[in-house]
Structure 1
């Protein structure tokens, strides 16, 4: 199964909303991971109403995982199941909550992020039953690079506005030095098809995801407004995008053909 990591160059480009929208509408079992080192916006946003009712517990997630596995070697995979919870509204989705307070990053540390990356790679590997969507928030010095390194696809969230596109260009250039072209794309958020095409043309990176400008539904995914619009343009587009990504990223890798008589 596949790991998709979403980052952004600026604050509030819609990275978290896109991650939640994809997870809620994903066509197969999926784990949503709130891995923003500046604090998990999923906790105070989409899951806010469920946390207030006691249905979701913010203390159960990456912090509890890092604490429980603190004596494990960083390169060893650990079981994530005990630290995940059902994602309300999702078809077959679970969530691994992130930091409710940025100060908690000290309790996770580089080794904790490394263990998480190894564990995600193991739980989303070939023959496993779950994909993973990881929201790393705004890219910076504290960004857990290990979670990008294990990703099958890194998406950079961007809006079609000029300032968002210009701020994204340096990040795209940086990531192009670290990832193969097929592992890098953009998630163009709140854009028309024409605007998405323009963004792709400027950034010279394919559009992994394009989500339309749908303020009401976007608010539901970002702030937990209910009921969740199931037939809106944003929900339908996210469903189609998730279905496409799931099937493309999980296609079996065919061996390269070898010419008969060719030397080994």
Structure 2
């Protein structure tokens, strides 16, 4: 279970999460959990599917004790009909975030269980958003702060790293914070990681054409630099995690 977060601006959280969901092997679920609202239905899918399903409806189902019964009905199959690349659409209105906030813990626990049988990628949005889903970060195997290689993005990331580190320290447990650097701007990923003093988990290239399709729809080329890098990231992150877990065990 991977949680993607941002500090400020639009560093590419949704595009990165969608790229992972479309390329990772095995059953993969992308959850749009940004309290500010979801983008995939109106963006990548260009409004072609029913918008009357998703996170808000799932929250109502949990309040009625029916989360497990309703979960599959709230999903969108991104590569029908195999149901291997799935989307839980986000909120249509940020005002709905107040309804979701009380059930974040239950949703996080359920997603944690789903991650035992596949990959769960959670787009959590900005850390500063009202009703932010902290329980999702607590349940994740890894929390990735998405940053661009620009001075502005790195500057905004500095306090975000402080908040994430403090939250993690208060809860105890292993270090689960990593960086996902979108390789745009003058500063290379390694330099960004060194400045923020956070391990570099993954780098995605500045592929504006593919990013535009993932944001707004259109013909997607699976051999594009962005999608090839996104696919490779799954194995890189798995290998990194094995090394870290092995070090802890030693």
Taking structure 1 as the reference length, what is the TM-score of the superposition?
0.82
Matching of residue 120 in structure 1 with residue 108 in structure 2: no
Classify the secondary structure of the residue corresponding to 1:11: coil
| Counterpart-to-counterpart distance in 2, 1:61 and 1:72 | 16
The aligned residue for residue 261 of structure 1 is none
The aligned residue for residue 18 of structure 1 is 16
Classify the secondary structure of the residue corresponding to 2:201: strand
| Counterpart-to-counterpart distance in 2, 1:14 and 1:149 | 22
| Counterpart-to-counterpart distance in 2, 1:168 and 1:106 | 26
The aligned residue for residue 156 of structure 1 is 145
Matching of residue 84 in structure 1 with residue 72 in structure 2: no
Classify the secondary structure of the residue corresponding to 1:78: helix
Question: Max radius of gyration: which structure?
Answer: 1
Q: How many residues align?
A: 241
Task: Choose the corresponding residue for 2:192, options 190, 194, 199.
Answer: 199
Classify the secondary structure of the residue corresponding to 1:12: coil
Classify the secondary structure of the residue corresponding to 1:178: helix
Matching of residue 4 in structure 1 with residue 2 in structure 2: yes
Classify the secondary structure of the residue corresponding to 1:13: coil
Contact 2:98/2:131 (<8 A) preserved = no
The aligned residue for residue 210 of structure 1 is 203
In structure 2, the CA distance between the partners of 1:71 and 1:85, relative to structure 1 (3 Å rule), is same
Give the RMSD, CA atoms, in angstroms.
2.6
Structure 1: any 5+ residue segments left out of the alignment?
Answer: 258-264
| Counterpart-to-counterpart distance in 1, 2:45 and 2:151 | 31
Question: In proportion to residue count, which structure has more helix?
Answer: 2
| Counterpart-to-counterpart distance in 2, 1:174 and 1:234 | 29
Matching of residue 107 in structure 1 with residue 96 in structure 2: no
Classify the secondary structure of the residue corresponding to 1:6: strand
1:33-72 equivalences under 5 Å are: 33-48=31-46, 51-52=47-48, 56-72=49-65
The aligned residue for residue 89 of structure 2 is 97
Taking structure 2 as the reference length, what is the TM-score of the superposition?
0.87
Question: Over residues 183-208 of structure 1, what are the superposed CA-to-partner deviations in whole Å (9 max), with x where a residue is unaligned?
Answer: 10111013389711111111111111
In structure 2, the CA distance between the partners of 1:192 and 1:235, relative to structure 1 (3 Å rule), is farther
The aligned residue for residue 137 of structure 1 is 125
Structure 2: any 5+ residue segments left out of the alignment?
Answer: none
